[in-house]
């Protein structure tokens, strides 16, 4: 008789229902690949009255204890989201000797360490492939397929909502407010879009990716975060003039001199960069390793079936461990203590857009101010505005420390000829 591995599913929303569908759709292959049958025994939900026709024959409950205390259930799959009670449920499951699979970036980014410790102590598995990049395999490739490398850089488009919005602004010249409304109507952005547009969703994923890539614990408060709310159609148009596109990137760099630098912010990305052509709701993660060179992982970063693809793969991995009588092949990989590079010491090129008086000597004053702050300019564009006697200046700098550019901006704002500091964005250009 074939062994049956029983699963408790916490949550049956977008991803939970996708997991049920994938397990059903690919049942035969999955059974053969695992060497045992996978069966969802019980599903935890909040509202027992909601119609869920796809749950035929599966026991439904609104009490977590029904799953936790069921000795037949060996794997708990957490898909309710948010920090609480998801964190407590996962911890209790691990302490009860059940392996845990999750897609929850909030918990992994903020409480990953205690979950890893509980898994190890109780000799069970803890897997979280779907917490970054939805259906894109990236956690397992970093932990396994690329583990022969020293990873020096990881850079990703890890938020589909903002990538959709920036793509629409680029393709149609629309305003931020208009594309946000459209993204909400299409169901990409939530009614409260803050976690996406302010960069927090991407920051959680940046913390998870950097912790794994650089083998050191990167906490959420180590990530400097800037969202896309200040991007205007004018910035998008100037980016095009500079042969760039604007993308919200999660960036992690590891340097023996300056430490680990992890941030999320919009950047002007040269059109030649592999990430520049990742459009719409798609995600991609670009990795640089000292043996593999450059590698990029691309696909759907969200959605019911794509995310379920990653969750079910984790379930299969855990089930294979059970069939083989093993656990935790790849344990927590944060075994080094590395210093975190303070934001002031991070180095980037910058794009600065200023509204200035349109009169003789103004460009000279601005160039002198940059020079005295120690900022070297790469290019300057000046366009006449339809505001009388004013011009807009866009300067692009050579790489410079964040503290220096901040000093230059303060000094520029004090010049009587500078009327408005319109935007300051990073430019990503160092591929090599």
Residues acting as catalytic residues: 205
State yes or no: residue 45 binds ligand NAP (CB under 6 A): yes
State yes or no: residue 127 binds ligand NAP (CB under 6 A): no
* CA–CA distance, 219 with 199 (Å, rounded to integer): 15
Measured from the CB of residue 204, what is the shortest distance to ligand HSE in angstroms?
9
Q: Which region, judged by CB under 6 A, interacts with ligand NAP, from 6-14, 215-223, 236-244, 407-415?
A: 6-14
**86 vs 118, beta carbon nearer ligand HSE:** 86
229: Cβ contacts below 8 Å, ≥ 6 apart: 176, 197, 198
Q: H-type helices in 281-340, by residue range? A: 304-323
User: Which of ligand NAP, ligand HSE, none sits in contact with 16, Cβ below 5 to 8 A by type?
Assistant: ligand NAP
Closest CA to 265 of 343, 181, 331: 343
What is Dmax (Cα atoms) for the chain?
Answer: 89
Measured from the CB of residue 205, what is the shortest distance to ligand NAP in angstroms?
10
Measured from the CB of residue 20, what is the shortest distance to ligand HSE in angstroms?
19
User: For residue 236, is the peptide bond before it cis, meaning its omega torsion is within 30 degrees of 0?
Assistant: no
State yes or no: residue 300 binds ligand HSE (CB under 6 A): no
**247 vs 288, beta carbon nearer ligand HSE:** 247
* CA–CA distance, 367 with 371 (Å, rounded to integer): 6
Ranges within 130-159 binding ligand NAP (CB under 6 A): 130, 134
State yes or no: residue 110 binds ligand NAP (CB under 6 A): no
* CA–CA distance, 17 with 60 (Å, rounded to integer): 13
State yes or no: residue 14 binds ligand NAP (CB under 6 A): yes
Contact 197, 248 (CB under 8 A): no
State yes or no: residue 161 binds ligand HSE (CB under 6 A): yes
User: Which of ligand NAP, ligand HSE, none sits in contact with 159, Cβ below 5 to 8 A by type?
Assistant: ligand HSE
Residue 101, judged by CB atoms within 10 A of its CB (0-12, 13-18, 19+), counts as buried
Phi, psi of 229 (to 5 degrees): -65, -20
Measured from the CB of residue 416, what is the shortest distance to ligand HSE in angstroms?
43
4-10 and 37-44 beta bridge pairing: parallel
- Residues touching ligand HSE: how many (CB under 6 A)? 7
Strand, coil or helix: 281: coil
Among 104, 159, 222, 349, binds ligand NAP (CB under 6 A): 104
* CA–CA distance, 104 with 50 (Å, rounded to integer): 23
Query: What residues make contact with ligand NAP under the rule CB under 6 A?
Result: 11-16, 44-47, 50, 79-81, 85, 103-105, 130, 134, 302-303, 307
Query: What residues make contact with ligand HSE under the rule CB under 6 A?
Result: 159-161, 196, 201, 301-302
């Amino acid at each position: 008789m074939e062994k049956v591995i029983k699963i408790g599913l916490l949550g049956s929303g977008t991803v939970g229902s996708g997991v049920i569908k994938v397990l059903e759709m690919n049942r035969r292959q999955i059974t053969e690949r695992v060497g045992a049958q996978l069966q969802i025994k019980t599903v935890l939900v909040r509202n027992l009255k909601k119609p869920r026709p796809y749950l035929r024959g599966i026991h439904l409950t609104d009490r977590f204890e029904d799953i936790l205390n069921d000795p037949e259930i060996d794997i708990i799959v957490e898909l309710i989201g948010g920090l609480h009670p998801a964190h407590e449920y996962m911890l209790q499951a691990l302490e009860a000797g059940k392996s845990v699979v999750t897609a929850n970036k909030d918990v992994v980014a903020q409480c990953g360490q205690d979950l890893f410790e509980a898994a190890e102590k109780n000799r069970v598995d803890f897997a979280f492939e779907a917490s970054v990049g939805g259906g894109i395999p990236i956690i397992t490739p970093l932990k396994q397929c690329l583990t022969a490398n020293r990873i020096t850089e990881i850079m990703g488009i890890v938020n589909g909502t903002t990538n959709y919005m920036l793509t629409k602004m680029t393709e149609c010249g629309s305003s931020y407010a208009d594309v946000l409304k459209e993204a909400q109507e299409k169901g990409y952005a939530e009614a409260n879009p803050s976690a996406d547009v302010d960069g927090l969703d991407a920051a959680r994923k940046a913390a998870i990716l950097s912790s794994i890539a650089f083998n050191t614990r990167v906490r959420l408060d180590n990530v400097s975060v800037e969202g896309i709310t200040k991007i205007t159609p004018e910035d998008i148009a100037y980016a095009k003039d500079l042969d760039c596109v604007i993308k919200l990137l999660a960036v992690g760099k590891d340097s023996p001199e300056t430490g680990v630098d992890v941030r999320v912010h919009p950047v002007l990305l040269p059109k030649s960069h592999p990430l520049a052509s990742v459009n719409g709701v798609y995600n991609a993660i670009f990795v640089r390793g000292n043996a593999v060179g450059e590698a990029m992982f691309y696909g759907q970063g969200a959605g019911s079936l794509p995310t379920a693809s990653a969750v079910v793969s984790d379930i299969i991995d855990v089930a294979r461990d059970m069939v083989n009588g093993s656990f935790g092949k790849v344990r927590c990989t944060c075994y080094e203590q590395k210093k975190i590079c303070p934001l002031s010491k991070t180095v980037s090129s910058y794009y600065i857009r200023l509204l200035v008086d349109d009169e003789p000597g103004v460009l000279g004053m601005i160039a002198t101010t940059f020079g005295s702050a120690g900022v070297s300019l790469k290019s300057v564009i000046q366009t006449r505005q339809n505001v009388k006697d004013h011009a807009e200046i866009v300067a692009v700098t050579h790489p410079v420390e964040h503290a220096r550019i901040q000093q230059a901006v303060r000094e520029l704002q004090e010049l009587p000829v500078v009327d408005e500091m319109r935007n300051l964005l990073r430019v990503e250009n160092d591929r090599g």
